[in-house]
Structure 1
């Protein structure tokens, strides 16, 4: 028996006002051929019927944590901490809008590696795995660090090798061993949404941990990807700020660490013809906030 098959595993799910999607995801966990040892659901102050859905799930080893809406980052921080404190060997992070294939967890537990991701597809079976195979924090001219993804590199799942090394992750099927958390810490709750997962992957790789996408671990997204966020709206602030934080913390040379300032300047200068005042205000606020986030938040540091 492989080491992974002897290990224990807790699933951490973060949810907010998506009870119907949560039902499908929990059904998927209940149908696993290798059942999880614990399912930690962090409810970010849902006001729909999420509480009723969770109360009815006597078929799963459920632990429910209810908190204020601290975003996906705050939810994963709290959930991973709870799983770590409970002593589980691995933690599998999951969003509420995906459904794992019945053998997904069994396949992943059979891979002896510290950091893994399940490979996402949409409901039609098309490959939609956006994890980066090239996440560039060296080139100051690379506006977006994500240069190539699994689904831009491979036409479909069948054309992938069994394991594909990736350089960033989504907290949507990411699995991490306990000793990685001991070494690098927890997801940073200060991100609120966006880039908390990418930043965590950078920390893991800087600590010498390789991250592998497992071809045969199938995770099905129930919603289409929306990569085009309103940069003038409230999400735009977090998109800009957290992208800047990743560069300020982990840029591999001074020019890359200066890139956020250049991006902010360009956005402001172009605002009369592109983006408008609201986006300009967002990027100025984002740059000011990012400067105060150069260091990892204290609560995300390695557990003591």
Structure 2
């Protein structure tokens, strides 16, 4: 089978260098490494040019966010004829056996249609990375738990191996999400059609600055505006899941506003403004899923 890596990068050159080094040093050699450069301004383009034919890279004219970058990267991997796409951020540091363990799982499940496999994502201190804890399928371990494979409903774009057939059937990640939620929305689409698993022995490390999840209440002022996308994108997902999900989402927004007022220590009104902007933009936010090769 042909497997390529798809990495999206934006202004994290030193981490990208380490990510690429680990990809090129895999026990199971990759057939191609595709880097999507999201209009970085830190010398990333020049570095990628210096690597010659070791990698394939695409330098975008503007930053499309993680969602747009992964959409472009998966499209490129599909067009280049690969069977599986190993997707990750530019701060994902793989062990030399990370891909081999994912391929071993594919061989184990060769009698089943697998949509994606997710690695075991750890923080730099070897504790589970909170941002990347996957969603179990129906809150069950699954029949292969004793073998180290847990059935999944969704996972993040930090080391997942996606089947080409799944992309053809369910379409690309929604590029208009820009950041936040695109990976969960996409992998849930896949898991509705195919079996998907968490591979405990495929370990990667996520070199985030801090091991924490999305938390607008305790967020500092510098990153507050980014939460606009989280609020807006979740509204889209709620609408796609029906009226009950919309009412549950509205209830969550009201609860979030109350918690910001009473628990946030800085930037309360700035945070409330971001929530309201995300909410009202979400009302009319209805991007279409893009499909490729639907002949």
TM-score, structure 2 normalization: 0.83
Partner residue, 1:194: 180
| Superposed CA offset, 1:63-91 (max 9, x none) | 33333111100100111111112221111
| Superposed CA offset, 1:92-129 (max 9, x none) | 11111111111211221232233101111223333335
How far apart, CA to CA, are the structure 1 residues paired with 2:74 and 2:246?
29
Match status 1:225 vs 2:214 = no
Partner residue, 1:172: 158
What's the CA shift for 1:302?
A: 4.6
Alignment RMSD (CA, Å): 2.5
Q: Secondary structure at the match of 2:154?
A: coil
Match status 1:116 vs 2:117 = yes
> 1:281–1:213: structure 2 CA closer, same or farther, 3 Å change rule?
same
Q: Secondary structure at the match of 1:167?
A: strand
> 1:167–1:28: structure 2 CA closer, same or farther, 3 Å change rule?
same
Partner residue, 2:135: 132
Higher mean alpha-carbon deviation, 211-220 vs 266-275, is at 266-275
How far apart, CA to CA, are the structure 2 residues paired with 1:205 and 1:99?
25
Q: Secondary structure at the match of 2:117?
A: strand
Report if the CA contact (8 A) 1:30-1:59 is conserved.
no
Partner residue, 2:109: none
> 1:123–1:273: structure 2 CA closer, same or farther, 3 Å change rule?
closer
Partner residue, 1:301: 291
Pick one of 209, 234, 249 that aligns with 1:243: 234
How far apart, CA to CA, are the structure 2 residues paired with 1:283 and 1:160?
43
How far apart, CA to CA, are the structure 1 residues paired with 2:212 and 2:239?
26
> 1:45–1:160: structure 2 CA closer, same or farther, 3 Å change rule?
farther
Higher mean alpha-carbon deviation, 166-175 vs 111-120, is at 111-120
Match status 1:26 vs 2:16 = no
Partner residue, 1:163: 149
Partner residue, 2:195: 210
What's the CA shift for 1:277?
A: 2.6
How far apart, CA to CA, are the structure 2 residues paired with 1:63 and 1:149?
39
Q: List gaps (5 residues or longer) in structure 2.
A: 107-113
Q: Secondary structure at the match of 1:53?
A: helix
Report if the CA contact (8 A) 2:123-2:211 is conserved.
no
Higher mean alpha-carbon deviation, 170-179 vs 261-270, is at 261-270
Report if the CA contact (8 A) 1:44-1:71 is conserved.
yes
> 1:240–1:60: structure 2 CA closer, same or farther, 3 Å change rule?
same
What's the CA shift for 1:267?
A: 4.2
**Count of aligned pairs between the two proteins:** 273
How far apart, CA to CA, are the structure 2 residues paired with 1:188 and 1:197?
9
Alignment of 1:29-68 (within 5 A): 29-58=23-52, 60-68=54-62
Match status 1:290 vs 2:282 = yes
What's the CA shift for 1:175?
A: 1.1
What's the CA shift for 1:228?
A: 4.6
Q: List gaps (5 residues or longer) in structure 1.
A: 1-6, 136-147, 151-158
What's the CA shift for 1:149?
A: 11
> 1:70–1:149: structure 2 CA closer, same or farther, 3 Å change rule?
farther
Q: Which has the higher helix share?
A: 2
